[in-house]
Amino acid sequence: MAESQDGQALVHPFPPVGPLTREAYEDLRHVEQSNDLALTHHLGSVDDLPRPWLPATCSSVDLREEVWDWLDAVVDWLNTEYVWLGEDEIPGCWPLHPHLVHELGVVADQRRRATLTLNSDLLEEWHRYCLPAFFDRLRARTRGCCETGHTGPPAGARITRYRSESQQARRAGWYRADLLAATEPTGRPRSVPRLVVSDGFVVDPRTGEIS
């Protein structure tokens, strides 16, 4: 491996996955390539198989810990090997940014797949499309936040408001009005109740107003 003047390697290999993560990938590969479901029956439901690029699907504590360690190493690798300008640096608080977690899992998985191929085609695709698009979205979504420390989402107040009981009741009124209108027999006049009660709130389903 080529070394710089200070004795450090000039480039570093992509971080490998751990044994449990490799096993998860092997299970998925067997299911994908098998033409006989009986051969993969021992793996359980395909829908329940963990996808390492989606940490939320990794319910095993040991596997989930290993995936976090892998993604952490990938972020360090990306910041070292691909970031030159500060605006592209992935912040150290990335685990507190769900949007980054979701994206980094895919970026890492795509790069892992490119590493396994016997030619550079997938790596060229990753360089041309996957990584630049990720950095574009990173800049657009963080916009200099967390440069000196983690900050909460600017849209936090809106998220809290969306989850409030009054907002939930308002949306429930709209949903019920839609169900009533969409399921009435054809040819009969549609009647939408003026007021409905949802979770203790009286809601006008046509306007969403709460009484």
Q: Mind listing the pLDDT tens digit for each residue in 9-65?
A: 899 999 999 999 999 999 898 888 876 666 666 777 878 899 999 999 999 999 999
The token duo for 130 is 């996957």
Q: Structural domain boundaries of the chain?
A: 19-149, 158-203
DSSP 168-205: HHHHHHHHHHHHHHHHSPTTSPP---S-EEETTEEE-T
Phi–psi pair at 189, nearest 5 degrees: -60, 135
The pLDDT of residue 48: 85
Q: What percent of the chain has pLDDT over 70?
A: 80
Q: Residue 4 and residue 62: Cα distance in Å, rounded?
A: 37
Lowest-confidence region among 29-33, 119-123, 128-132, 171-175: 29-33
Answer for the pair 150, 108: CB distance below 8 angstroms, yes or no: no
Average pLDDT over residues 124-134: 96
Determine the Cα angle at 149 with ends 145 and 150, to 5°: 65
- pTM score, two decimals? 0.75
Closest listed residue to residue 141, CA positions, set 85, 83, 102: 102
Closest listed residue to residue 19, CA positions, set 60, 48, 54, 77: 60
| 51-54: long-range contacts, CB 8 A cutoff, minimum separation 24 | 51/24, 52/17, 52/21, 52/24, 52/25, 52/105, 52/109, 53/105, 53/106, 53/108, 53/109, 54/102, 54/105
Q: Residue 72 and residue 134: Cα distance in Å, rounded?
A: 16
The token duo for 86 is 């500060």
**Side chain identity at 27, as an amino acid letter?**
D
pLDDT greater than 80 at residue 201: no
Map residue 42 onto helix, strand or coil. Answer: helix
- Residues in CB range of 167: below 8 A, 6 or more apart: 161
Q: Characterise 146 by phi-psi region: left (phi > 0), alpha (psi -120 to 50), beta (else).
A: left
